[in-house]
C-alpha cells in the first residue's frame, strides 16, 4: 500500500468502514454483483479502491427496506424524529476530520473546503431536525361552512441521485429534509465518490436513525439508478447532476408517472459595473470560478465586465490566479486541488482547446503541480456570448471574460444562455443592483457577493438548470404533499346530488 492508501484505510476504519465502498441496505454493508468500479485518487492518479456495482438487485432491496422502515418512522412524533436528527448533526461534527479527509482523498477537494462542507452537513440535519415537529397544514375558511383543513403528508420513499463535486454536502442536503418530513430514502451517490455518503448514513444509524430508513446504493446510474427510479415503492426522484443525465432521469421518472426535482448545471453570469469596488469584485470573481477548481454548479463562469474597467479587472484576476495555492488536497495550505476525475479533466481540457480554435486568447496560470488532474486557472478573452465555451458548462477553473457597455446589454448577455441557476452583480448603485437582480434569470442571485449559501434559503434553477427547489421551507414542500380534509359539522349533513356548496 502507498502512504495515501494507508491514510484512506485508516480514515475509513475510523468511520467503521472497510477500504472498499459497500452499499448500505437495511443497516447492512453489502457488496453488489455488477461490474467493477475503480476509485482513483485525482492527485496521484493512483487507484484508491475498487468495488462492484450495486446493480438492479440491490436497488430493489434498498427500495423495499426504505418502504418498510418509513412506516415506523412516520408513526414517531415529529419531536422524536427531530431529536434523532440533532444527534446526527452532533455525530457528523464529532467525526468531521475522518469525513473531510476521505472526501479530500476521493474527490480531490482541498481539505479546508471539505471541513466546511462537513460542517454544513451538520447544519442541515440541525436545521431540518428543528422543522420536524413544525410541519403542519392550514385551516381554510371554505364558503360551505365545512371544517376544511390540510395536512402535509410525507411522500413515502424518495430516490435521490447525487454527483461527484460535493458528495457529502449534496447527500446531507437532500437526506435531511426528506427524513424530517417523514420519508424513507434510497440515495445513489456518484459511483466516483460514494464513500462519504455511506459513512454519513452509517454514522447516523449509530446514533438512532432507524436501520433501513436511508439506504445507500454504491453503483452506476444505468443499472442501480434506473432500477430504483422504476421501483414501485419510489414516489419521487430528486436528481442533482448534469443536464444531459437529468433529461434521462426525468424521462424515466415521467414514464413511471413519478415527479422529479432536477438540480442541474449552470453558466452563471458574474456582472461587474465600473462603479464597483474592483478589488472586491476581483476577489469575488476568483472565488466564483477558481474555488473548488470551478467544479461548482453555481460557478461564475461568465465574467461580464463594463468595458471601461474590463482590461483592468482581467489584469487583476490574472495576477490573482497566479497567487492561488494549487496542490495536494490533503495539504492544509492548498486552496485549489485537481479536477476530480479523468473524464472531467479531459472535458475541461477539450473545452479550452476548442475555445482557442474559436479565437479565444487564453490567459492561464504559469505553473501547475506536475502530477494529478490539474487544469490551471484560466481566463478566456475575446469570445462572444454565443461561442461554445460561453454557452456550455465547462465545470472547471475556466472563465470567459466578456465586455459590455450598458446595463441593458449586461442583462441581455446574462440571460443569453439556456441556463438559469445563479448570477451576481458588483456595483455601488443600489438601484441598479435591484434592477439587475430582478431581471437576470436565476434561482440564486448575489449583490456584491458570490457563493453565499445556507440551508435555510431556497436553491434551484430554471430551463437547463432544472426545476423544483432544495433548501429552506421550499424543500419541505418538495418532500410532502397536501391532503385536504372536509368535515361537515352541520346538524344535518349537507348532502347534494353533486357538488356541496
Catalytic residue numbers, as ranges: 263, 297
Q: Is 163 near ligand NAD (CB under 6 A)?
A: yes
Q: Output the smallest distance, CB 36 to ligand NAD, in A.
A: 15
Nearest one of 241, 307, 309 to 280, comparing CA atoms: 309
Choice from 29, 68, 93, 248 touching ligand NAD (CB under 6 A): 248
Q: Which is nearer to ligand NAD, 245 or 286 (CB)?
A: 245
| Strand ranges for 427-468 from DSSP E | 444-447, 466-467
Taking each helix axis from N to C end, the angle separating 78-94 and 96-107, rounded to the nearest 10 degrees, works out to: 70
Which secondary-structure segment (H or E) carries 38?
A: strand 36-40
CA-to-CA distance for 448 and 434, rounded, in angstroms?
11
Q: Which is nearer to ligand NAD, 404 or 446 (CB)?
A: 446
CA-to-CA distance for 116 and 471, rounded, in angstroms?
17
CA-to-CA distance for 215 and 218, rounded, in angstroms?
10
Restricted to residues 176-205, the positions that interact with ligand NAD (CB under 6 A) are 188, 190-191
The interface mask with ligand NAD, positions 457-476, x = CB under 6 A, is ----x---------------
Longest dimension (CA), the chain: 85
Q: Is 240 near ligand NAD (CB under 6 A)?
A: yes
Name the residue whose CB lies closest to ligand NAD: 221
Q: Which is nearer to ligand NAD, 26 or 462 (CB)?
A: 462
Q: Is 164 near ligand NAD (CB under 6 A)?
A: yes
Choice from 156, 172, 221, 327 touching ligand NAD (CB under 6 A): 221
Q: Is 99 near ligand NAD (CB under 6 A)?
A: no
Q: Is 242 near ligand NAD (CB under 6 A)?
A: yes
Strand-pair category, 139-140 with 361-364: unpaired
Q: Is 445 near ligand NAD (CB under 6 A)?
A: no
Choice from 84, 96, 132, 249 touching ligand NAD (CB under 6 A): 249
Nearest one of 329, 313, 333, 311 to 321, comparing CA atoms: 313
Q: Output the smallest distance, CB 453 to ligand NAD, in A.
A: 10
Restricted to residues 293-352, the positions that interact with ligand NAD (CB under 6 A) are 297
Choice from 265, 338, 396, 403 touching ligand NAD (CB under 6 A): 265
Is the sign of the CA dihedral 334, 335, 340, 345 positive or negative?
negative
Q: Is 419 near ligand NAD (CB under 6 A)?
A: no
Q: Is 263 near ligand NAD (CB under 6 A)?
A: yes
CA-to-CA distance for 171 and 99, rounded, in angstroms?
13
Nearest one of 410, 451, 406, 428 to 300, comparing CA atoms: 451
Q: Which residues pair with 239 in a beta bridge?
A: 161, 262
Q: Which residues pair with 458 in a beta bridge?
A: none
Q: Which is nearer to ligand NAD, 107 or 363 (CB)?
A: 107
Choice from 42, 177, 212, 225 touching ligand NAD (CB under 6 A): 225
Q: Which stretch binds ligand NAD (CB under 6 A): 42-50, 162-170, 209-217, 365-373?
A: 162-170
* Backbone φ, ψ for residue 33 (5° rounding): -125, 10
Q: Is 29 exposed, middle or buried (0-12, 13-18, 19+ CB in 10 A)?
A: middle
Q: Which is nearer to ligand NAD, 70 or 245 (CB)?
A: 245
CA-to-CA distance for 463 and 147, rounded, in angstroms?
40
The residues that touch ligand NAD, with contacts defined as CB under 6 A, are: 161-165, 188, 190-191, 220-222, 225-226, 240-242, 245, 248-249, 263-266, 297, 393, 395, 421, 461
Amino acid at each position: 500500500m502507498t502512504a495515501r492508501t494507508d491514510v484512506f484505510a485508516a480514515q475509513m476504519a475510523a468511520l467503521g468502514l472497510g477500504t472498499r465502498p459497500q452499499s448500505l441496505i437495511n443497516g447492512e454493508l453489502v457488496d453488489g454483483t455488477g461490474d467493477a468500479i475503480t476509485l482513483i485518487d485525482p492527485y496521484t492518479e493512483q487507484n484508491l479502491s475498487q468495488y462492484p456495482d450495486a446493480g438492479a438487485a440491490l436497488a430493489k432491496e434498498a427500495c423495499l427496506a426504505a418502504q418498510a422502515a418509513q412506516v415506523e418512522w412516520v408513526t414517531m412524533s415529529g419531536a422524536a424524529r427531530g431529536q434523532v436528527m440533532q444527534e446526527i448533526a452532533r455525530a457528523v461534527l464529532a467525526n468531521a476530520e475522518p469525513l473531510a479527509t476521505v472526501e479530500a482523498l476521493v474527490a480531490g477537494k482541498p481539505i479546508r473546503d471539505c471541513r466546511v462542507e462537513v460542517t454544513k452537513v451538520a447544519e442541515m440535519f440541525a436545521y431540518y431536525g428543528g422543522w420536524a415537529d413544525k410541519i403542519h397544514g392550514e385551516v381554510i375558511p371554505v364558503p360551505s361552512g365545512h371544517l376544511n383543513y390540510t395536512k402535509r403528508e410525507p411522500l413515502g420513499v424518495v430516490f435521490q441521485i447525487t454527483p461527484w463535486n460535493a458528495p457529502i454536502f449534496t447527500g446531507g442536503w437532500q437526506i435531511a429534509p426528506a427524513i424530517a418530513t417523514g420519508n424513507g430514502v434510497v440515495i445513489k451517490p456518484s459511483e466516483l465518490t460514494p464513500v462519504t455518503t455511506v459513512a454519513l448514513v452509517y454514522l447516523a444509524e449509530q446514533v438512532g436513525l432507524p436501520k433501513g430508513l436511508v439506504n445507500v446504493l454504491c453503483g452506476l446510474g444505468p443499472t442501480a439508478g434506473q432500477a430504483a427510479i422504476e421501483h414501485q415503492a419510489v414516489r419521487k426522484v430528486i436528481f442533482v447532476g448534469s443536464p444531459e443525465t437529468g433529461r434521462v432521469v426525468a424521462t424515466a421518472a415521467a414514464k413511471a408517472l413519478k415527479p422529479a426535482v432536477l438540480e442541474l448545471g449552470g453558466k452563471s453570469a458574474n456582472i461587474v459595473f465600473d462603479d464597483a469596488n474592483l478589488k472586491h469584485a476581483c476577489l469575488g470573481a476568483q472565488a466564483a470560478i477558481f474555488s473548488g477548481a470551478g467544479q461548482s454548479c453555481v460557478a461564475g463562469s461568465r465574467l461580464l465586465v463594463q468595458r471601461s474597467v474590463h482590461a483592468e479587472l482581467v489584469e487583476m484576476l490574472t495576477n490573482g490566479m497566479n497567487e492561488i495555492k494549487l496542490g495536494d488536497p490533503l495539504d492544509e495550505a492548498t486552496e485549489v486541488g485537481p479536477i476530480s476525475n479523468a473524464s472531467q479533466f479531459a472535458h475541461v481540457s477539450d473545452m479550452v482547446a476548442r475555445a482557442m480554435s474559436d479565437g479565444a486568447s487564453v490567459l492561464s496560470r504559469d505553473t501547475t503541480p506536475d502530477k494529478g488532474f490539474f487544469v490551471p486557472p484560466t481566463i478566456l478573452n475575446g469570445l462572444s456570448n454565443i461561442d461554445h465555451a460561453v454557452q456550455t458548462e465547462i465545470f472547471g477553473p475556466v472563465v470567459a471574460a466578456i465586455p459590455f457597455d450598458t446595463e441593458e446589454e449586461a442583462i441581455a448577455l446574462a440571460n443569453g444562455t439556456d441556463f438559469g441557476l445563479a448570477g451576481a452583480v458588483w456595483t455601488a448603485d443600489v438601484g441598479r443592483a435591484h434592477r439587475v437582480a430582478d431581471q437576470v434569470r436565476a434561482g440564486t442571485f448575489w449583490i456584491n457577493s458570490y457563493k453565499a449559501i445556507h440551508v435555510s434559503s431556497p436553491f434551484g434553477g430554471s430551463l437547463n438548470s432544472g426545476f423544483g427547489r432544495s433548501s429552506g421551507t421550499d424543500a419541505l414542500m418538495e418532500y410532502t404533499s397536501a391532503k385536504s380534509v372536509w368535515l361537515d359539522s352541520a346538524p344535518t349533513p349537507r348532502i347534494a346530488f353533486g357538488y356541496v356548496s
